[in-house]
Chain A
Amino acid sequence: MIDTLMLIDDENLFHLVFEDACSLLDIALSIEALNSSDEADKLFSDWFPDDPNGEKPECVFVDLNIIGSSFDGIEMIRKINHDYGNGVVIGIISSSEDEMEIQKAKDVGAQFWIIKSDDIEPRLEAFKEDYEGYKSGSAPFKVYK
């Protein structure tokens, strides 16, 4: 089970769906849901280069288009991977299936792409099975449709 998971998504209602689904599937012990990438950017900059209290999450789910934020999910992943020292399992959770965007996410170091829909539980369950591979860096990039 993931100890700490961070969700960055502008839709509050989805926070509830995600938290309940993760709790029911025993995916994560604690979930921190943020509304904007700016908020997440500030936290990650605080945790870099040192995170003495171990507050940095183990895994991060980022929405592709975060309304009200200065930058989108792909840029957020790029920043975490390149500017803030990486060290987290990170990927996109979005309703978009745009191949170009998926490729961009892969290029900046996203490890997975989960299609957001009403029936999210099977995808999260599949992600849970692959999680150890992502953590060790051995699992290839995957799109959960």
Chain B
Amino acid sequence: MNVAKGIRDFFLRTARDKRVYAEGSFLKVLEAEKDDKEFQEYLDLCKEKDSDARKKRLAITKQIQEQNRELERVNKENESVNKQLSKALQEAHKQSENALQSKQEAEIAKREAEKLRDEAITDLEAFQKKTQTELMGSIVKVALMVILGVGLITTALYVFVLLQGHDSKIIESTWSNLFGILLTNSFSIIGTIMGVKHATKNDN
């Protein structure tokens, strides 16, 4: 497209005085007259400047694009690492909770075991006491039977001697001594049993 002389001169003057040149797609439609070397040179210069500027901008834009892609890639990697960390943290938290729960369960089991042990000890003590009481009862029974048996036999023998009119001096003293001994032993046995019972009670 050829331009009017006034416009042509305006372009050339602006370039000379202000160093402002035409640029962009507009340059692709501007044409100089065949014999107008000055304007042709002006258009060539404008195109060269425009092309240099575009090349520079294209290189920078591509560089920014590359950087953006790199940032995006790094960002994705970071997101992936963050996800892994978050997962590991959740896992650790879960394991910590499990450990806490296991500890609580172990404590409950320990308390249960202690309770059972205490119950067993109580039962054992009760059983021991029962056995002791039964043993003491048996001792008392046997002792009383022996005492009563000996007392009855001696008394019967003494009564028999008295009724038959035999000499009763020896049996009399024997009966008296024996009765005394038996009585003393009876109290001794009772005293021992009471003592044992009292001592057992104090131990508990």
Binding site for B on A (CB under 8 A): 1, 13-14, 16-17, 20-21, 23-24, 26, 29-30, 118
Contact = CB atoms under 8 A, between A and B. Distances in A.
B62 A23 contact: no
A126 B92 CA distance: 58
Contacts of B64: 13
Interface string B52-68: 00110110011011101
8 contacts: A17-B58, A17-B62, A17-B65, A24-B54, A24-B55, A24-B58, A29-B29, A118-B66
B28 interface: yes
B25 A29 contact: yes
Contacts of A20: 54-55, 57-58, 61
A14 B54 contact: no
B78 interface: no
B70 to A, nearest CB: 12
Contacts of B24: 23
A17 B58 CA distance: 6
Interface size class of B (residues with CB under 8 A): 10 to 19
B132 interface: no
B28 A29 contact: yes
Contacts of A16: 57-58, 61
Given A1-B28, A23-B25, A118-B62, A13 B68 contact: yes
A28 B54 CA distance: 14
B98 interface: no
Interface string B63-84: 0111010000000000000000
Nearest to A30: B25
Contacts of A23: 24-25, 50, 54
B138 interface: no
Contact of A26 (B28, B65, B68): B28
Contacts of B185: none
B14 interface: no
Interface in B23-68: 24-25, 28-29, 50-51, 54-55, 57-58, 61-62, 64-66, 68
A13 B69 CA distance: 12
A60 to B, nearest CB: 18
B29 A17 contact: no
B65 A14 contact: yes
